[in-house]
Amino acid sequence: MLSSILVEPGFFGSQPVRTALVVGAVVALVSGCVGVFTVIRGQSFAGEALSDMGTLGGSGAYLVGVSPLWGYVGVGMVVAGTMELFGVQRRRGRDVATGIVLGAMLGLSALFLYWDTVDHSTTGATITILFGSLFTVSGVTVPATIVLGIVGLGAVALLYRPLLLTSLNTDLAAARGIPVRRVGLAFLVLMGVSVSLSSVAVGTILGTALLIGPAATALRLTRRPGLAMLVAGGIGIAVTWLGILLSYDSYYWPPAKKGWPVSFFVVAAIFLFYLAVDAWTWWRSRSIRASRGDRAVRVHRPDPEARDEVPCSRV
């Protein structure tokens, strides 16, 4: 049977697997919805910076013995507020300053991660924070992730229309009485929460992959903003579950025979899915253009009788 080839025995019976499936789905849904707005607003760079700086929070939290999630969220809030204060949301804004601060933060993270490793005499902390691990999500992190995810989804739904208009054109939004700066700050905070959640799933380095990848793919497939969020969430859930499944299956794979990381499979699936959709839309637009070209030639012929005449372009 196909299912027994795809799914190794004991998959659904395993508690870590079931937790990973639920947490992964919540994270993917939030990332997809927030990601659509991140791409529309051109704030992928801010997302990347938020995620990278989360490393500092995660490693710091590990050091004092609490869940890295709290570190991610704490740092996310502070960084989001700072970004709004200095207006560095977009790449073109204050490039150098952002680069220097980001570098300093990551340097500090390196120190914290080193202490974590020495303290616990294991590289587990570094791997968990940088690359995530859905199978090791446990304890209070599980309900905390789900609750934060639901709050995030609620916030997107609440802000949907003002956020859409602000993302499109700030003058247009301001003229409708929308407080553009406050909406911008709310979105940065929302992005902070979203990358914190995806850092739990795929780590701080890959955090934006889940935010940007499914959203960018969805924008290729639909013309409606609400639908784009649903499609992005759907793609996110599909790639996350596929990653969990393949990671579980890979337990006896070489070289270490201890399984491949979920994050690898998730990010690989996002990448391949994007390429496939890109190729498909390119092929489709090419065939549409070809059929339009046909019609244009017919329209421009003034008289069906004159078909045999030499076209102007060849004269």
Partner 1 sequence: MSSDPRAPIDETLLSVDGVSVWLGGRQVLDEVSFCIRKGEFTGLIGSNGAGKTTLFRVILGLLKPNGGTVHLDGQDLGRSSRSIGYVPQKVVVDPDVPLRSRDLVALGLDGNRFGFAVPRRARNEAIDAMLDAVDATRFANARVGSLSGGELQRVLIAHALMSRPKLLLLDEPLANLDIRSEQEVVTLLGKVAAEQQIAVLLSAHDMNPLLEVMDRVVYLANGHAATGSTEEVVRTEVLSELYGHPVAVLHVHDRIVVVAGPAPG
Three-class DSSP category at 301: coil
Candidate list 177, 254, 255, 304; residue touching partner 1; CB under 8 A: 177
Query: From the CB of 231, what's the least distance to partner 1, in Å?
Result: 9
CA–CA gap between residue 163 and residue 225 (Å, rounded): 11
When asked if residue 40 is in the footprint of partner 1 (CB under 8 A), the reply is yes
DSSP at 135: G
Answer whether 102's CB lies under 8 Å from 110's CB: no
Nearer to partner 1, 143 or 226 (CB): 226
CA–CA gap between residue 116 and residue 253 (Å, rounded): 29
For residue 198, give the nearest of 270, 111, 273 by alpha carbon. 270
Query: From the CB of 42, what's the least distance to partner 1, in Å?
Result: 8
Nearer to partner 1, 47 or 162 (CB): 162
Query: From the CB of 151, what's the least distance to partner 1, in Å?
Result: 15
Q: Where in 219-278 is the site for partner 1 (CB under 8 A)?
A: 219-220, 222-228
Cα-Cα-Cα-Cα dihedral of 147, 149, 155, 160, to 10°? -150
Query: From the CB of 174, what's the least distance to partner 1, in Å?
Result: 5
Query: From the CB of 291, what's the least distance to partner 1, in Å?
Result: 17
- Residues in CB range of 128: below 8 A, 6 or more apart: 62, 68, 136, 203
Please count the residues of this chain forming the interface with partner 1, following the rule CB under 8 A: 33
Q: How many CA atoms lie within 13 A of 46 on its CB side?
A: 35
Query: From the CB of 162, what's the least distance to partner 1, in Å?
Result: 6
Site string for partner 1, 125-164 (x = CB under 8 A): --------------------------------xxxxxx-x
Query: From the CB of 219, what's the least distance to partner 1, in Å?
Result: 5
Stretch that binds partner 1, among 76-84, 111-119, 171-179, 256-264 (CB under 8 A): 171-179
CA–CA gap between residue 262 and residue 16 (Å, rounded): 13
Nearer to partner 1, 155 or 245 (CB): 155
Candidate list 9, 171, 255, 302; residue touching partner 1; CB under 8 A: 171
Which pair of tokens denotes residue 27? 């994270």
Stretch that binds partner 1, among 69-77, 102-110, 165-173, 288-296 (CB under 8 A): 165-173
Candidate list 146, 178, 185, 277; residue touching partner 1; CB under 8 A: 178
Angle at 77 between CA 54 and CA 113, to 5 degrees: 20
Please give the C-alpha separations between residue 168 and each of 90, 161, 174, in angstroms, as whole numbers. Answer: 15, 11, 11
Which pair of tokens denotes residue 183? 């909406």
Interacting residue ranges for partner 1, rule: CB under 8 A = 36, 39-40, 42, 157-162, 164-165, 167-169, 171-178, 218-220, 222-228
